[in-house]
Structure 1
Amino acid sequence: MDNLTHTFVGLGVGELVQRSLPAEADAPRQRTRHRLLLTACAAASNFPDLDLFLTHLLPAPLGYLLHHRGHTHTLLYAIPQALLLLAMLWVFWPNARQLLRTSPHARLGLGLAIVLGFLLHMSMDLLNSYGIHPLYPFDPRWFYGDLVFIVEPVFWVAFGVPLALAIPNRILRGLALGALTLFLAGATWRGYLGWPSLAVLLVLGGVLAALRITRRQSRRAPALAALLSVGFIAVQGGASSAARSQVEATLHGIDPASRVLDVAMTAFPAQPLCWSFVSIEENEQAGSYRLRRGMLNLAPGALASCPAGLTDPAATEAAAPGIALAAPWTGDLAMLRTLAGRDCHVNAWLRFARMPAVDGDSATDVRFSATPRGNFATLDIADSARTPCADVPHWGYPRADLLGPALQ
């Protein structure tokens, strides 16, 4: 997820922890604890992304692909990060240090805020199709949620509205709410968010605002925000599973001789009925594998009208009701396996690539072919050969099922 989403969610959960604990003995101590818990949870919710400073350890694009969402996004390496954050708060915040020495509620709250913040970061990053490997080094595999768009306005509204209304200054409060409204309106006008989704988000924001205004000291608004977010994720999970099943059935009908290995699902913002996807199929007998991009509407012509800003213009072939496919890309299995075995750069790149399109000149992960800044996952094979292979993390190969003997 983007760091603004991580911050909103961290602040919102920090607020929920703060309001769930008994109050401190006096107002100054209560204010210090409030600021401490929100700061700690928001910082912990962003801390793992400091791995961006490690991306220079490998040449582009391998540095970003293998070191971002790397060691700092694992449960084991969250422990030293949490201790570092705790030490920084203790050393550089004298008032918080004094409070923590005397208040068991503040110590409990700080522990909860930091632990929840790190778990929130990894959980939120797990929700999309990029993936993380949280169990490394015990299990090096990547795990993918395929549930939520990487910039999801549901979280912005659910946590952002109560947070904005908590700002003491009326002008700043109005600016924060106005900025959130303008973001939603702009995303809708540019075709990234559907009009029905905008209406639902505005109603949701209104309900949260009313609850926050009428219950100023209650934890009901942040608790409702968390509950709505969990419910949204559950709905997305059911929709993603149904969409993947439809795609797999359609692909099997098109080519029964091929085996569908994986379908990477990408949600539309605040729209459980609309999805884009990339699939990979293997035909061992023919010595080939195939990648397809496509769009899916779970309710074609009825409930859903997918926003135009995120549709794939290449997906024009109607393969089934609600499913449109782009022209497939077919690769040579023998060449892929040969490169994986003899070229250390391609081998390293394959520790990231979930949807690898590899020819003799370049390797690209088709998941990112439609990103506005271009496909950041593309590796120039000839150019990469000029640099040595070093500092390659031993993540699992997402396509170990396709590479087979090349990894042995």
Structure 2
Amino acid sequence: MDNITHSLVGALTAEMAVAFLKIKKPEWVVSRRTRVVFLLSALLGSNICDLDFIISLLLKPTRLQYLLHHRGHTHTLITAPFQAGLIFLGFWCFGKFKKIYWDKVEITGIVLLSFLGVVLHLLFDSLNQYGVHPFWPFYNGWFYADMLFIVEPWVWVTLLPLLFFSSGNRFFRAFIFSIFIAGLALIWFSGFIPWGLAAVITTWSGFIFILFMYFGNHTRIAICISALFLICLVFGLESRWLKNEIKTRFEKEEVGVEVKDVILSPFPSNPLCWHLVTVETLPTRLNYKLRRGIVALFSNLYTPEQCLHLISAKEVVTKTNSNVVWTTEMKLSRQELQKLYKKSCYVAAQLKFVRAPFWYQKDGKLYFADLR
């Protein structure tokens, strides 16, 4: 997921921690400093995993090195305590420098929220088509939920109002509101979302803002958690249904074909339109087929051609039925792939991450890529 989404989820956990303290000790007033410490700990924990991105840029990597390092070691559970420890060390050094004494509650908050931030980062990164391998080195398999786009404005407009109302700093509020407006602008002008759906999301965001004016922070937190769960539930159920439907139908339509993988990614904030990539083995088992296209959830409401028009004016290559259109199709040799795997360490390394591998020769060079 994008770092704004990670930060918003982290901020939600910080607000939950403050709410927990107030419930546990109603007479205790949570100081502004403690709130800030909790928020910073959660924000740092929610984003520290992506330090691999910054480090890889500083090392000026090749595209393959960047691919292998991003979502690499920092995106594993075994390194989570070390990353949380690094954040705690930063607070400790800052406290020593500024002669600040962190009390027991603040120290506990720093440690727990930093660690929880890392874990939630891994969880939310697993929700898209690129996934994570959190159990390395014990298990190097990748987990892909294929249910959310990397940038999800639904999450932005749902969680940003919580930060807006929980803060008493007008400059911070102005900053939060500017991100909120940017999220709405992305919804209206990105081109991925039909205007009717954009109007629904805008109405929802306005409703959340108005609703939060009349409720306390505990109720706001409960609403945000429920809404976030509902967003994931809707997209998750759609993804699961589409995967099963596509696999079953394609294997029935072509005798001997086995669908090995169905890769899905919804359009941003648009549950009606999905990017689709399939990996299929052919009857001879000597070759496999890759196809990329667009699938419409309810084709009678919004056709796949209309979905395709939102992102591209490409000519449709083939049309399977009323709810799928294909823009790319290729057949490749499994034996050739095995040869490349044994011959090239670069291909072998890339296959740890790639889900839909293809390659081609150009100017005497081998280009190996992922159809995603």
So what's the TM-score if we normalise by structure 1? 0.81
Matched, 1:49 2:50: yes
| CA deviation string 1:310-357 (max 9, x = no partner) | 357354522112111124111111111111011111111111111101
The aligned residue for residue 269 of structure 2 is 270
The aligned residue for residue 320 of structure 2 is 319
- Partners of 2:12 and 2:194 in 1: CA distance: 26
The aligned residue for residue 19 of structure 1 is 19
3-state SS of 1:161 partner: helix
3-state SS of 1:139 partner: coil
The aligned residue for residue 218 of structure 2 is 219
Matched, 1:161 2:166: no
The aligned residue for residue 63 of structure 2 is 61
Deviation at 1:16, TM superposition (A): 2.1
Alignment: residue pair count: 362
Matched, 1:366 2:366: no
Contact 2:296 2:324 in 1 (8 A): yes
The aligned residue for residue 328 of structure 1 is 329
**Range moving further from structure 2, 245-254 or 268-277:** 245-254
The aligned residue for residue 4 of structure 1 is 4
**Range moving further from structure 2, 199-208 or 37-46:** 199-208
Q: Percent identity?
A: 30
1:29-178 paired onto structure 2 within 5 Å: 30-55=31-56, 59-93=61-95, 98-100=101-103, 103=104, 105-170=105-170, 173-174=173-174, 176-178=176-178
Cα distance change, pair 331–316 in 1 and its aligned pair in 2 (3 A) = closer
CA RMSD of aligned residues (A): 2.6
Cα distance change, pair 233–91 in 1 and its aligned pair in 2 (3 A) = same
- Partners of 1:47 and 1:171 in 2: CA distance: 25
3-state SS of 2:301 partner: coil
Cα distance change, pair 225–311 in 1 and its aligned pair in 2 (3 A) = farther
Cα distance change, pair 112–201 in 1 and its aligned pair in 2 (3 A) = farther
Deviation at 1:111, TM superposition (A): 3.5
Deviation at 1:84, TM superposition (A): 1.0
- Partners of 1:199 and 1:317 in 2: CA distance: 32
- Partners of 2:252 and 2:289 in 1: CA distance: 15
Question: Where does the alignment leave 5 or more consecutive residues of structure 1 unmatched?
Answer: 368-408
Contact 1:73 1:132 in 2 (8 A): yes
The aligned residue for residue 235 of structure 2 is 236
Deviation at 1:186, TM superposition (A): 4.2
3-state SS of 1:319 partner: strand
Deviation at 1:237, TM superposition (A): 1.1
- Partners of 2:325 and 2:26 in 1: CA distance: 58
- Partners of 1:68 and 1:113 in 2: CA distance: 23
Cα distance change, pair 58–289 in 1 and its aligned pair in 2 (3 A) = farther
Deviation at 1:149, TM superposition (A): 0.5
So what's the TM-score if we normalise by structure 2? 0.88
Counterpart code for 1:55: S
Deviation at 1:284, TM superposition (A): 6.2
Question: Where does the alignment leave 5 or more consecutive residues of structure 2 unmatched?
Answer: none
**Range moving further from structure 2, 166-175 or 257-266:** 166-175
Contact 2:42 2:114 in 1 (8 A): yes
Q: Which has the higher contact order (CA 8 A, sep 6+)?
A: 1
- Partners of 1:96 and 1:230 in 2: CA distance: 41
Cα distance change, pair 189–359 in 1 and its aligned pair in 2 (3 A) = closer
Cα distance change, pair 332–359 in 1 and its aligned pair in 2 (3 A) = farther
3-state SS of 1:142 partner: coil
**Range moving further from structure 2, 278-287 or 347-356:** 278-287
3-state SS of 1:93 partner: helix
Deviation at 1:130, TM superposition (A): 0.6
The aligned residue for residue 397 of structure 1 is none
Cα distance change, pair 96–199 in 1 and its aligned pair in 2 (3 A) = farther
Cα distance change, pair 110–196 in 1 and its aligned pair in 2 (3 A) = farther
Deviation at 1:26, TM superposition (A): 7.6
